[in-house]
Chain A
C-alpha cells in the first residue's frame, strides 16, 4: 500500500514537473522581462554592476573605488601564473590555447563526453594535474588570481552559455534552476527570494543585487574577504555560493561539486548577452 502511494505520489510530481517545463530560452526571456519591468530604464549591461546599478548613493563610492581598483595587483599575479611555465616546460596555454582573452567566454559549458558541466576553475586544476602540478585550492588564492586575469582579458565580450539539446544537459540546467528557486536552510530562503523578488531592496545596510548580471564579474574582490583570516579579498563564484548558503543557515555544498556547477550553468545562462566585467569590486 505504502509503495503504491509513493509511486502514485512520485508520478504526480513528475507530471507537475513536466507541466511546468519550459525551455531555457523561454526561461531566459521571462527572466529578462521580469528585471526590465522591475527596474525600468536600467540598461541590460548595467546589471553586471550589481547593486551599484540599482543604488545611486552606493554607486558613487564604488566608482571612486574603481579609480584605483584593489584587484589590479591580483590581475597581475594572475598574468604571472598564466605565463610561468610548469616544471615540464609547458604552460596553461597548452591547455587553454595561446590567447588568454579567448578563455573565459567558453565557460561554463556542457561536456558531452563526461556528461557534466565544466567550469573554468575545473579546467584550471585539470590542466595542472595533467602536467604533474599540484592543483590550486578551489575558492581563493591562485585560482582566483588566474581567473581574475582571464576575466580581465575577456572584458567586453558577451556571456554566451550554450545549453545543448541533450537530455542530460537539460537535466543539469533544470537542477541548477531548481537549486536557485528552492528555499533552503533554517532561515527558509531561496537564492531567488533575495536576488529576484527583493532585488534592489536593502537587507540591513546592504542592497540586494539582481541575479541578472551576477556571474559577469567573478572572480570578485570583496572588501569583506580582504580581512584578516579571510584571504586577500579575491574569491570565486562557488566561494560566494557557499557564503550565501551559509547565511541562510544551509550547509554549503562543496565548491566545484555537481550542485554548484549546475547552478553556475543556469545562473550564467541567465546573463547571456551581458558583457564580462571581471574582476569586479564589491563591498
Chain B
C-alpha cells in the first residue's frame, strides 16, 4: 500500500512539475509539428496503431479516435497523465505506458500531449 502511495506521490510530483511547464506557454506550430511526428512514428508514439487521428493513414480501431480532446480532457494534465501511464486509470489497459516504461522521453511526451490536445 505504502508503495502504491509512494508511486502515486512520485507520479503526481512529476505531473505537477510538467503541468507547470506545459501551461507556461502555448505550444508553437513547430512544437505541434514535432509532436505530430512523434505520435505518428511507428517506433515512437505509434498512436495510429490504435487511434484514428486526423491526417494519419491506416489507423487502428482498438481505441477511441482522437478528436475534440479539449472537451474530453478539460484538464490537460489529465491527458498527459493518461499518455504517461494509462494503467493508473485502468490496470488492464492495452495502451503502453509511454512515460512509466520510458517508451518516450518526458520532453517527447510534452510534445505529443500538446499535439493531441490540439486535435
Contacts and interface: CB of A to CB of B under 8 A. Distances in A.
Direct A–B contact in the complex, CB atoms closer than 8 angstroms: yes
Interface of A: 186-189, 193-194, 197-198, 201-205, 208
Residue from the set B50, B60, B103 with the largest chain A CB neighbour count within 10 Å? B60
B118 interface: no
B62 A203 contact: yes
Interface residues of B, number: 17
Contacts, number: 37
14 contacts: A186-B103, A188-B96, A188-B101, A189-B96, A194-B94, A197-B92, A197-B94, A198-B94, A201-B61, A201-B62, A202-B62, A203-B60, A203-B62, A204-B58
Contact of A202 (B61, B94, B97, B103): B61
Contacts of B102: 186
Residue from the set A186, A188, A189, A193 with the largest chain B CB neighbour count within 10 Å? A188
Contacts of A208: 62
Contacts of A198: 62, 94
A188 B61 contact: no
Nearest to A193: B94
Interface in B56-100: 58-62, 87, 92, 94, 96-97
B48 interface: yes
Nearest to A194: B94
